[in-house]
Amino acid sequence: MGRRSAAVVLGAILCAAWAVAAYLLLRTQIPSGLELPALDESDFFSAAQLEEAERYDRFSRINWIFSTLALLVSLGAYARWGHRFTRESAAGRIGTGMLLAMLGFAIVWLVQLPFGVAQLWWDRRHDVAQIDYVSWIIVDWIQLGTEFVFVSFAILIVMGIAGWLGDRWWLLGAPVFVLLALLFAFSVAYVVIDTHQLEDPRLVADAEGLSEELGVSEIPVLVQEVDQSNSANAFAGGLGPSRRVILWNTLLDGSFGEGEVRVVVAHEFAHHSRNHIWKGVAWYALLALPGAYLIARITRRRGGMAESKAVPVALLVFVALNVLAQPIENLISRRYEAEADWVALQTTGEPDAARTLFQNFADTGLQDPTPPGWAVVWLDGHPTLLKRVAMAEAWRAQQAR
């Protein structure tokens, strides 16, 4: 067998392994024949509710389209001409690469700023956000700083390995990034600030009952004090001993009934009991390997990632791949969210509470219950509110049988 056919065989084996892993990761506990009833949104949401949520969401979606286009165009220009700045630098190979990354990052920030301000204006106008413009800029800067540290570190790793392995850097680089993602998934729950224990004794008892039923009784539920948003939220984070369920205080301020809060808590515990965070890291690995390969391949025309002048092209490819991966990531996320909803229905047995919870989300977070299909594909990590209501109805119908 020649070298070329050996490479083809290896490629085919890798593709098959990828497909098997993806198939196994996509499996959920939702009964395979489950059909969601076709519901009329006006039976579950008032006309005023629908109008306001649709108006709010429409602006946000258009803002996203323009900000993404601006981002890609500006990074495209930087990829075309940015390498000219290398001549002026005396910072060495990796140092110059990091400077180019910093410059690219400054461009990204400047280009995104007006869209961020426009979204904040819109959110404040609709009472979705309460943060003032100055505090928002500060928060934005802190986030920028964190992202920048990460990007510099990534450039350091990639250019370091590429200096040693050449264009094969991705074979080692991708696993290194998967390890970093694992570390991030483990520690993310620890960096959430302003949290405290659940206080309401009834809620504590409810949470204990639900976590026991799902076999995750060692996972604590914490409350996070958020004072700059009106929307209600909750999330599950951490791996193994760092696993947490975190509820925003906006969920417990009386706008949601006890049954609704129980559904949320069960949903978050389900993310842990169904190992969604581990699966998320596995998906990251499945996407990072081909992604790193593509970056290695495309940057070859600028001398490969060992050369600092490849950095602007690498930034463009990285951001473009992230945008392209968004529909895949959303599809995966929607499956896991639907599974968490299903497990929450099984655990609480409260389809009415689930329904009113989703109806409430149209008010507190101004979510459009039936966004257009393209917006679901590109922007929605959760099933639409109408689909979530439909699942509660499907669960009830299944019980009645």
- Give the footprint of Zn ion on this chain (CB under 5 A): 337, 340
Q: Of 210 and 340, which has the nearer Cβ to Zn ion?
A: 340
Judge whether 335 and 321 are in contact, CB under 8 Å. Answer: no
Sign of CA dihedral 383, 183, 227, 110: negative
Q: What is the closest distance, in whole angstroms, from the C-beta atom of residue 271 to Zn ion in the complex?
A: 6
Residue 100 CB-density burial (10 A; 0-12 exposed, 13-18 middle, 19+ buried): buried
Q: Of 309 and 382, which has the nearer Cβ to Zn ion?
A: 382
Q: What is the closest distance, in whole angstroms, from the C-beta atom of residue 237 to Zn ion in the complex?
A: 11
Q: What is the closest distance, in whole angstroms, from the C-beta atom of residue 340 to Zn ion in the complex?
A: 5
DSSP string, 211-266: HHHTT-TT--EEEE---SB-S--EEEE-SGGG-EEEEEGGGSSSSS-HHHHHHHHH
How many CB atoms within 10 Å of residue 63? Answer: 16
Sequence-ordered list of residues with C-beta below 8 angstroms from that of 58, at least 6 positions apart, any chain: 368
Q: What is the closest distance, in whole angstroms, from the C-beta atom of residue 260 to Zn ion in the complex?
A: 14
Q: Of 100 and 340, which has the nearer Cβ to Zn ion?
A: 340
Q: How far apart (Å, rounded) are the C-alpha atoms in residues 232 and 357?
A: 10
Q: Of 100 and 266, which has the nearer Cβ to Zn ion?
A: 266
For 181, phi and psi rounded to 5 degrees? -65, -40
Q: E strand or H helix at 72, and its extent?
A: helix 47-81
Tell me how far CA of residue 352 lies from CA of 214, 249, 265, 293, in angstroms. 21, 23, 16, 48
Q: What is the closest distance, in whole angstroms, from the C-beta atom of residue 159 to Zn ion in the complex?
A: 37
Q: What is the closest distance, in whole angstroms, from the C-beta atom of residue 39 to Zn ion in the complex?
A: 21
Q: Of 170 and 283, which has the nearer Cβ to Zn ion?
A: 283
Q: How far apart (Å, rounded) are the C-alpha atoms in residues 318 and 339?
A: 30
Q: What is the closest distance, in whole angstroms, from the C-beta atom of residue 236 to Zn ion in the complex?
A: 7
Q: What is the closest distance, in whole angstroms, from the C-beta atom of residue 59 to Zn ion in the complex?
A: 25
Q: Of 163 and 220, which has the nearer Cβ to Zn ion?
A: 220
Q: How far apart (Å, rounded) are the C-alpha atoms in residues 38 and 233?
A: 27
Q: Of 83 and 271, which has the nearer Cβ to Zn ion?
A: 271
Strand partners, 195: 224
Judge whether 244 and 196 are in contact, CB under 8 Å. Answer: no
* Tokens coding 377: 């594909």
Q: Of 123 and 268, which has the nearer Cβ to Zn ion?
A: 268
